[in-house]
Amino acid sequence: MTGIQKAFAGIPALREASLRILPGEVHALVGQNGAGKSTLIKILTGVYRRDAGEVLWQGRPVDLRSPRDAQGVGIATIYQELTLVPQRTVTENIVLGYEPRTRWGAIDWRAADARAREVLSRFGIELDLHRALGSYPTAIQQLVAIGRAASMEAKLLIMDEPTSSLDEREVETLFGVMRALKARGTSILYVSHFLDELFAVCDGVTIMRDGRTVGETRIADTSKLDLIAGMLGRDPDEIRAAGRTQLSTDQTHAGPVFLEAKGLSSDRRLRRLDLEVRAGEIVGLAGLLGSGRTESARAIFGMDKVTGGTLRVGGRDVRLSSPRDAIDAGIAFLTEDRKVEGIIPDLSVRENLTLALLPRLSKMGIVDEARERQIVQGFIKALGIRTADMDQPIRELSGGNQQKVLLGRWLALEPKLLILDEPTRGVDVGAKLEIQSIIAKHVEQGCAVLLISSEFEELIEGAHNIVVLQEGRSVRKLNNPGVTEASLIHAIAEPPDTPHVEAAE
């Protein structure tokens, strides 16, 4: 693919993007969110039509107008979001669209079962072929999706975040299948935020940034730091020079420790989290996508099952098995996905803001509406929420004002620990400054904050300490002030076992 361009409503998504995959090669495609990876893949698979550029398939120009066209030439895709039919059986999902037929045209279910059994044997798993796929765990469904695509005998297999739901043993099994496919001449385009996986299984890598292809190299000729620098548009040499960052020591500027996690792990690829957050302190969580930042928040808030380690809240060992337990312990969580997990679009500003507070506003199931309106009016004024009135549907507000309503929802509980996952994403500069000011004010009043952000500047300017995560593990802690963007990137890219050297005075 060369010179690929694509715009939506006049806004460029791809500008002069390119991609080259060799026969029998596992090729990685990397880039931050919004870099253009998904758009490029959708053009390759016929979901989108390109505005300009050329696609050569086995040396010949092609114009793939639909996913069926792509499948017809030998391109199969495994999307991050499962595209199977959970109500149908395992066999039906594996052969869907490619059902073996008898000579009379009926589906040959015996042959279909045999094909399904052979596909699953590649992963060393046995399933009830006639059981609904949706009754199995997500990881099993993911393996079935991968097996289905691999069984199509495709010349190019595209894998978009295939390991996001798999544990370490299942990941190794997948890698074994990939190596077997490669040995048979199948090319694989591999998209993953887990950079260590790339070095374990890939041959080449293409780096994208801001809709452009900014680099292509062999995996053997690069490093994780070089990949990260390319994705972020930074100078690798500058990052290496700034890598001698002083490790943090015990802090005395804040109050007592409110939250302490030791060796915390969960069933969502959180492997080991060591963390302390004090009253009146902001601790930042830094890392690439897939490093375990959101998984850390979900485990602390009781959304995911904790499988190991200890959690202390307010000086006591606790086991928070649900968000209700976390809320009762004084913890609040502002989710990253405002539209899906945050707002309820058809409800009003008032209803959205008091959602978590309703148990405290209700008696025998009846809400004290006068008290509710008084609280909402106070937060509209305190947070500067721009709305016609509190009964306006929240979907009609701007992104920044929606975010302030969600922030108000949790502040209304007067939490002792506020977990903020990308609190300023998708809001304008003015709203961003207002949200940061609101957070700072509550920290001054003694609230502890765990801040997750993909913006290094936000962490450096706002956090007292920064904990760096890699592959689901906390690997180092940086003391602020004194952290620079370059030194933070170096800490994110540096292998965990590399010794630290204190910065010179």
Over the stretch 258-291, which tens digit does the pLDDT of each residue have? 999 999 998 877 889 999 999 999 999 998 877 8
The sheet with strand 282-286 has its strands ordered as 331-334, 417-421, 448-452, 282-286, 465-470, 473-479
Residue 176 CB contacts under 8 Å (≥ 6 apart), including other chains: none
Q: What is the pLDDT of residues 224-262, one digit of tens each?
A: 888 888 887 877 777 666 554 333 333 445 689 999 999
- Residue 501, pLDDT > 60, answer no
Domain check: are 356 and 296 in the same one?
no
* Tokens, residue 389: 């009135």
pLDDT tens digit sequence for 122-164? 777 788 999 998 888 777 887 788 778 777 778 999 988 887 6
Supply the pLDDT for residue 46: 92
Rounded to whole angstroms, the Cα distance separating 373 from 389 reads 11
> Are residues 283 and 197 both part of a single domain?
no
Domain with 157, as residue range(s), is 2-238
Position 241 scores a pLDDT of: 63
Mean pLDDT of 37-51: 92
Which of 5-9, 267-271, 393-397, 494-498 has the weakest average pLDDT?
494-498
- Number of domain units in the chain: 3
Note whether 84 and 213 are same-domain residues. Answer: yes
Q: Rounded to 5, what percent of the chain is helix, strand, coil?
A: 35, 25, 40
User: Is 252 inside any structural domain?
Assistant: yes
Considering the domain boundaries, does residue 174 fall inside one?
yes
Do 164 and 293 belong together in one domain?
A: no
Q: How confident is the model at residue 503 (pLDDT cuts 50, 70, 90)?
A: very low
pLDDT at 42 over 80: yes
* pLDDT for the residue 283: 92
CATH number of 177's domain: 3.40.50.300
Count CA atoms within 13 Å of residue 89 on its CB side. 13
Distance CA 489, CA 237 (A): 12
pTM over 0.85: no
Specify whether 23 is located in the same domain as 100: yes
Residues 362 and 493 in one domain: no
Domain boundary among 369, 385, 410: 410
Question: Would you call the peptide bond into 67 cis, given omega within 30 degrees of 0 as the criterion?
Answer: no
Is 389 a domain residue?
A: yes
Choose the final residue of a domain: 199, 214, 238. Answer: 238
394 and 285 share one domain: no
Angstrom distance (rounded) from CA 451 to CA 418? 8
Same domain assignment for residues 447 and 485: yes
Average pLDDT over residues 475-501: 76
What DSSP letter does each residue of 4-70 carry, written as one string? EEEEETTEEEEEEE-----TT-EEEEE--TTSSHHHHHHHHTTSS--SEEE-EETTEE----SHHHH
- Residue 367 counted as domain residue: yes
- Supply the pLDDT for residue 96: 83
CB atoms within 10 A of CB 198: 24
In a domain, 403, yes or no: yes
Q: Are residues 253 and 312 in the same domain?
A: yes
Helix (H, G, I), strand (E, B) or coil at 456: helix
Answer whether 152's CB lies under 8 Å from 146's CB.
no
| Mean pLDDT to the nearest integer, 60-74 | 91
For residues 292 and 208, state if they share a domain: no
- Quick one: how far is CA 229 from the chain centroid? 19
Residues 256 and 228 in one domain: no
Rounded Cα–Cα distance for residues 290 and 293 (Å):
8
Does a structural domain hold residue 434?
A: no
| 271 shares a domain with 132 | no
- 491 in any annotated domain: yes
Report the distance separating Cα 23 and Cα 230, nearest Å.
25
Judge whether 212 and 231 are in contact, CB under 8 Å.
no
Q: What is the pLDDT of residue 239?
A: 65
pLDDT value, residue 81: 62
pLDDT value of residue 259: 92
| Final residue belonging to a domain, choices 238, 272, 291 | 238
In a domain, 438, yes or no: no
Exposed/middle/buried for residue 366 (C-beta within 10 Å: 0-12, 13-18, 19+): exposed
Count CB neighbours of 67 within 10 A. Answer: 15
